[in-house]
Structure formats: C-alpha cells, structure tokens
Structure 1
C-alpha cells in the first residue's frame, strides 16, 4: 500500500489551496447550503425530553417499564443480534482478501488524515467509559463467577483466567468493532457517492434506492438512530459523573455528592464543546491522539508495576480460547438471563451506535481503500482492545490471586469504578496511576461526545454539514440530560442505558441490508476504478 496516500490533502479541484484542517471543516464553499431538518431534530429532542420528564415524575415506574421492555427485547432478538454481528464480521473478513478491496472510498485519491490519527479517532470513539472501567471490572466479574458457558458438563477443568478474558473478548472484540465500522460505513459512503445524504436513512439505499432519502420512513429511521446513539452517549456521560466522583473520593477524600458529579459533567461538556468548535480535524483528532498516547503510557506503567509475565501468559491463553471457541461462544444461548446482562446487552449497545458510527467513519475515511478501512476497523482495534482488557483486567486478576478479595471485594461493594481504583491502590505510585485512569476516562468520553454530536447533528441536516453551533447544542444537551438523570441515582442512568438496547431492535433491521449490499458496492467500485 502506498504510504504517501496518508498525507492530508484536499482533492477538490474547485477549492483554493488550503491545509488539511481547513479543507476538512469548510462548509460554505465545498458543500451545499446547510439546512436543518427541523422535524427530525425536533422529534429527536422532544422524545428525549419526554423520557427525562417522565423519569423525573415517576422514576420507579419508568425504570420498571424499561427493565421489562429490555428483557423482552433481549430474549426475542438476542439471537438475531448475535447472528447479525457474526455475519457482519465474517463478510468483512472475506472482503479483506478480495482484489476488490483495493478500491478507494469517497471518490477521493488521498486520505484527509494520517493513519495514526485516523485509527485513534475510530478507537476512542467506541471505547468511551468502557475503555477504563469495564476493562478493569469485566474480567474480574467473570473470574469471580465463571460464565455459564464454561460451567456446563462440556467444559470441566477450564482455566478460570483464560475463561474470564475470553468472555470479555467476545463482548468487546471482533464482532463489536465489525458492526460499528465496516460494512455500514461502506454502504454509507457509496450511498453518498450516489447523491444520498450522510444520514442513517441512507443505510436503506440498497433496498429503497433514492426513495430512502425522503418520506416518513426516512424520518423515522433518522429519529430512532439519533435517539439510540443519544441514549448510548448520555448513559456513559452520566455514569462517568458518578464514577469519577467515586474515584476522587477514593483518592483525595472529595465528597461523593451530586454537586461534584455536576462539576465533572460540566468540565466534560466544556472540553467537548471546545473540541467541537475546533472542528473534526483539530478537536477530535487531538483528543483521540492524546487518548491513545495516554493509554499506552498507562499500559506500560501497569505492566511494569504489576506483573508483565502474568499478563502476557494470560493474554495468549485467553486469546487462544477466544479463537478456538469463537463460534460456540458467540452463538451461545444456554442461559438467556445471563446473556441479557452481558453479551446480548453489549451487542445491543453497539448496534445502537452502529448507524451514527457509520456516518462518523464515513466522514473521516475518504480516500482510504476498502481493505484499509476493514483492517483498521475490524482487525487492528479489536486486537488492541483485547490487549488493553488483559493489561487492566489481567492485572486485577493477578492482584486478586495474590490476596483474595483485594479486587473482587471492592468491585462487588462499589461497582465498576471500585475495580480500577482497587487495582491502582495495590500498585506502586497508586495516586498517579489512579489520576491517570480518571483523566483518561474523561478524555475518552469527551471524544465520544464530540464525535457523536457531529453524527447526531449530521443526521438532522437536509443538506450541507452541521455548524459548530449545532454540534455544540447537541453536546450541551447530552451533558444536561445526563446531569438531570443522575439526580435520580443509578436508576435514571441505568434506565437510559437499557433504553439503547430497546432502540437496537429497529436499528438492527436498518443495518441488515449492509450484509449483501457492501460486497456488491465494493465490487462495483473496484470495476469503476479499474483496480480488479
């Protein structure tokens, strides 16, 4: 692959010479006049506002309703989601090895972003709060209580460490990344080439053609997808407000109170707002690159201060088990109640993000080859994610084996943030490591808030690109909604996080056409570009 194609460069022949940053964020000269789709924007905001108001009035009832609907959706559609994610990954994997994968996306010869910045933006947008708290906690949960897949008669004598890591890899590995960044992004970019808007409705272009751009169904698809990703973003922001205050209380004795949680959310929203006005090329790229470098530094510190040898052994045993039992673990249906709390929950969560992630990835991936896109979304990030989960979670298991209850005890008593704080506390330089994890979590979520505010704003545009003001409004709405919901305690945020799984039901059908359309479009592009 020609490495020179990674240098940022505007390919518009009618534009004056400009830097990559300027070219990426110009809207008045390089795109149609920006117009907001007020019905879609109004319906999206209105439904979210109605949910918040009702949750404030009858919180217990709303929590009960959402919990019941969540269980029904997980039981009925869980297997469909498992098959859909698996099929998406397998088709993406096959496409990588076809000669068609040499085709370039977006009618552009050179990418707007260098490879490191590009992959960093993709990775940090998905990981969000899960990049720290879930990475430390989930392997410990599965180590303390073995998943049912490994406790039946056919899996006696299993390695508990490998089983815990492999189960975490199923939830956060290849399938999660494939549904978020592969076939849907290809369909979105191809539809855009054919004159379709960069909106969720364009994912129906393979079955409806140009009719997908207009009509009631198109508006419903946009609204459902915006609400889904809003719920998936607001949830982690509110969750972060509660969890960071726990960490601040643990490290410095700062009171774990609602005003402190509000301050954390305000800071997070402010950081996202500054990034919004800096543009995708500056704001998101800077935050993402900083996240990756900080994560690498923390990984190195944890490995050096913990047990690098134990983590290395655990990674290979866990990843090996993940590979050998990949299909059976992915399609496991033996305990549907357990699945609804783990694998099916995460699959529904990632599905809820998928349409707007396709928009964001399409925005930053012009000029990339299909092979480049698929490898850099479906292969490399999941491998990096499994390593990250092993460093944090594996170190937690190592410390637990040294002193039983040292990590699992705080986790069971205090929830997700207690795990990472307990791990930090047991390592040398505990305060520095703990502060690093809290800062990293905030920048992860700030990046997600910034990039998803772009995708939500773009979904509400009839033409052109969203202005920084519109993106900032969405970022503020995310922060305000999260602040209101955490006033209800864990129940309000939990209800919203469960709601994303409910909205994943229609979203999963929106993503379905990508399975057959992406290979067709890749072949068409390859023939048009004469690269196969």
Structure 2
C-alpha cells in the first residue's frame, strides 16, 4: 500500500469487519452524551473528573506548605514499599508486547484486513515521538548523565568507569521499557476501537471481561482513573518543560541582553499561561493541521540541534561512546531491568532508585494513556508486528543517539575541558544543565535559542495532544469532539501544572505521577490479558470457515486481491486497482 494515502475504507470492508468481528451491541460511542454549550461530554466521566480535579486544585492551594509535606510523605512511602511492584510490572509489559509482535498475532492488521494507513511513516513517527518524550529528553539528556556521573547509584557501586555507568543508566530509563508501556496501551486501544468498533477509551479494552458493563460503573471507574493518570502525567511533563524554558530564557537574557530574567515559580506560572494560550491555537487547528505540522517541525528542530552539537562537539568521542554505551546497555539490561535495591539498604526505606527508576516507571505508566491513545488514533492500517516494532525500537534508538550526543558532549566537557557541569546540576538543578553544556561549544547563544524554542514547541504539542486524549476519555470515546471542548482541556492541563508547581515544585510533580501511576499499573496488568483475549478471537475468526467463504466469494467476483501470511491467514484485502502497490510487512 502507499504510505501517503489517506484513510479510504470501502463499504464492503467495513461491512465485513462489522459483520464478523464487531461484538453484538447496539451501543455507539457517546450515545448517552450531553450536548450543550459547545460541549459533547459523557454524563458521568466528565462531571466527576472535573469535580475531582477542582477539589484537588483547591486543596493543594489552600493547604500550602502542608500540601508540600503531604507530597513528601506520599512520595517516600510509595518508593519505599511499592518500588518492587513498579519494577516487576514494567518488565511484564515488555514481555507481553514482544509476545504479541512475534507470535501468530503479529500479522493481524489494526482496523481490519482492508484498513489503510492514515499517515505516512515519517508523519507517524514524528507524531508518536513528539507526543511521547520530547520535553523529557530535552530536560534530562544532559542533567541525568551528569547526575549519574557523580553518583551512579548502588547497581554500579564503585565502578571506576563512571561515564559508561552514567550513560547505561540513562539509556535504561529512556530506552525500550517506556516504549513497551506505550506500545502495549496503544495496541489495546487501537485494536478494540478499530477492530471491534468500540469507543476509543480505556474501558473498551476490558470488553472481553466486562462485556456490556463497560458502559456502566466498572467502565466509568476505569476511564476516571485513566483521566487522572493522563492529566498528572501530562502536568509533570509540562511542569518540567516550563522550568527548562525559564532556565533557557534566563541564560539567553544574561548572555544576549545583559538582563537577568527571573527564575522561580511566579515566572514559570506566567510562562505556562502564555504557552498554554499558544497551544489553544494548535488545538483549534485540529489533528491534521495542528499536531501533525507542529510534530514535524519539532522533528526538524531536533535533527537540526542534534546535528549541530554532533558537528561542533566531540564527534568521534560521541560516536564511539554511542557504540560502547549501546553494547553496555544491552549487556546490563537483563539484570538492571529487575534490580530493586533489595540488598543495599534497610527494608522500607526509599533509596536512590526511588528518585530515578521508580519515578520514571510511574511517569511512563501515568503518561501511557496519553501517548498510547494518541498513537492508537494515528496507527490504523498497521499490522501488530509493524506497530510494536515501530513504537518499541525506532524511537528508543533515536533516544540513544540523542542521549549519547548531548550526554557525551557534557561528559567530554566535564572530563576534557575542565567543566563543572556536575556541580551545576547539583547546585542549580537539572533544568539548567543543557544550556551550561552548550557554553563549552561554539555558537552557544544560537544553539540555546533553538533549544528553548524546541521545548516551547514540545510544550504546545504535548498540551494539544493531551487535550485530544482527555477529550476521547470524557466524551464516551467519540473520535471527533467540539474544538471548544479541546480548548477547555488544554487550559485545564495548564492550570493543573501551574498548581502543582505552586504547591510543591518538582517534588509535587513527581509525587502526582507515581501516586496516579500505581493504581493504573494494576489496570494495565489486567489489560495484558484482555488484549490477548481480543487478538486470540481475531485470529480465530480470520481462520474460520465463515470468513474463508466470504473471502472466496469476494475473490471470485474479482473485487479484491487477498494477501496472506505463510500460514495462509488473511492479513490484508485490497482493491484490484491497488495490486501494483507494494504491500507492507
């Protein structure tokens, strides 16, 4: 099939998919919605979500310092007592998604056997990457390696090669595991929406267990938890992004204009207001004009900044480091993936891992409904294997190159150029690390300006994409919702990020993530089984006599061309007019 083609599913394909694959139900996405004042919302999920969010914001603001103390206690408690659970479940997600890709279910096509790709491969990768990790990579790509360079934690102990240990740990946190979580969630959402015709909400994934009850309180509860996980995961990314934008503006103000731009909570809240206002313009433009174009701009800017640092920085050092880092990461991965600090401290105490791995795993899990639903929305027409491998490997490999370039340039500056980046990270925070690193190389002002602009555009795409996802959840799974509603959620996301910054800064953001990620991780565990049940049923129908008879009839009538796997399972049906187009794997 041609990658650039827009979605054109014929009536025959749609009828076949509905007749044989869709469950018997007279319910439709958003069929009980309330439509009023420019909103189209679910009568239970929307008002309850909004009420609980308002309650959370009010309590955080009113309690002040008490809220900060509560965040500290909750953060330490979850890290101390539930860290092992986070480590275990993320590995289960990794194993599950690989099983789906390389088993007989890998040839199943998202959307049915005649579904076509909605976006080109380039646009698809740009959108999923921009939505998934853009802000985070900008924030941590220099600061995290330098932090681990100074203290590599208990896994590596007194390893004399602190540079390699620092990069392996950073690879681990940004590599295959987070994208396995995203891929699992995205696959479940895409399959049950496009292959089963169910609402594009999390409740639909549980159809094999709940049946029609997904439209009742069990389903409402699942979507409510998903809204909170998405909102706080998004607020964390926006909060981190705005602190780095603030640091970048301070750096540029000092270096260019000789003006000290204030750094702190107040200017960061002001920045959230300004950038959220910009995001509403992208929201109003819609998915194709707004998110897609901005995502592609992000990718061009990222490649430009990456190429610049690679060119003017220690190129040979970075490329040699990338090769060595990748090998060391792959060798360490089996043991590192299951490491829980079990023998490095007292039971019930939050250790080094809590501030890093546990926070990241909670962040990725809380972030997964957002990224998963977004990539599900844009992945119709791809096989399960293509989807999994694309989501799992390509963005991770790009992250490795990015981290090796910026982290390697930082370590080179620290060890070879007499830099003090490790001290800067320790004293001033991770958010300033990127800009301090750039000062050791030519045209620092230009590169710092591009870096700041890139974080701003990532902020906008994250806010835009996040509002799209929460819209799906709070509108009963409808694919198209009023723009007024998306703008409302974009403003709400900015407000929650601002409140978390005021109520406790980075600690509040981290606590919100791991606290909402914990119950959602349990939901994802059950989801592994329900997705398996769905794929098993799909494969069974594809091998059924009834399906074979329908395919034979369609072939004899000369309407379509049938493409099968080596096991003679139909994986694609396309019009005869497209027979010259190359098929995908």
TM-score between the two structures when normalised by the length of structure 2: 0.82
3-state SS in 2 of match to 1:477: helix
Q: Is structure 2 residue 268 aligned with structure 1 residue 267?
A: no
For residues 51-200 of structure 1, the aligned pairs below 5 Å read: 51-107=56-112, 109-151=115-157, 157-180=159-182, 182-192=183-193, 193-200=195-202
Alpha-carbon separation, structure 2, partners of 1:505 and 1:224: 10
Deviations 1:465-523 (A, max 9, x none): 322111110001122333344445xx245313311211111101111123233344334
Contact 1:161 1:318 in 2 (8 A): no
Alpha-carbon separation, structure 2, partners of 1:485 and 1:322: 34
Q: Is structure 2 residue 519 aligned with structure 1 residue 514?
A: no
Contact 1:6 1:112 in 2 (8 A): yes
Shift of 1:415: 0.7
Cα RMSD of the aligned pairs, angstroms, is 2.3
Q: Is structure 2 residue 321 aligned with structure 1 residue 314?
A: yes
Alpha-carbon separation, structure 1, partners of 2:533 and 2:340: 32
Match of residue 501 from structure 1: 514
Contact 1:101 1:526 in 2 (8 A): no
Q: Is structure 2 residue 435 aligned with structure 1 residue 421?
A: yes
Shift of 1:218: 2.0
Match of 1:48 among 53, 64, 89: 53
Contact 1:103 1:526 in 2 (8 A): yes
Structure 2: where are the runs of 5+ without partners? 13-27, 34-39, 254-258, 345-349, 544-563, 570-585
Contact 2:413 2:419 in 1 (8 A): no
Alpha-carbon separation, structure 2, partners of 1:123 and 1:332: 27
Q: 1:222 to 1:520 in 2, by over 3 A?
A: closer
Match of 1:203 among 202, 205, 217: 205
Aligned residues: 508
Deviations 1:149-188 (A, max 9, x none): 001xxxx6552222111101111110101101x2222222
Alpha-carbon separation, structure 1, partners of 2:43 and 2:77: 33
Structure 1: where are the runs of 5+ without partners? 15-29
Match of residue 236 from structure 2: 235
Alpha-carbon separation, structure 1, partners of 2:50 and 2:525: 26
Q: 1:254 to 1:525 in 2, by over 3 A?
A: farther
Match of residue 221 from structure 1: 222
Contact 2:366 2:513 in 1 (8 A): yes
Relative to its length, the structure with more helix (as a share) is: 1
Between Structure 1 and Structure 2, whose CA radius of gyration is higher? 2
Contact 1:81 1:348 in 2 (8 A): yes
Shift of 1:203: 3.0
Contact 2:359 2:510 in 1 (8 A): no
Contact 1:59 1:492 in 2 (8 A): no
Alpha-carbon separation, structure 2, partners of 1:159 and 1:289: 38
Deviations 1:41-94 (A, max 9, x none): 222222222222222222221122122222222333322222221122223223
Q: Is structure 2 residue 482 aligned with structure 1 residue 467?
A: yes
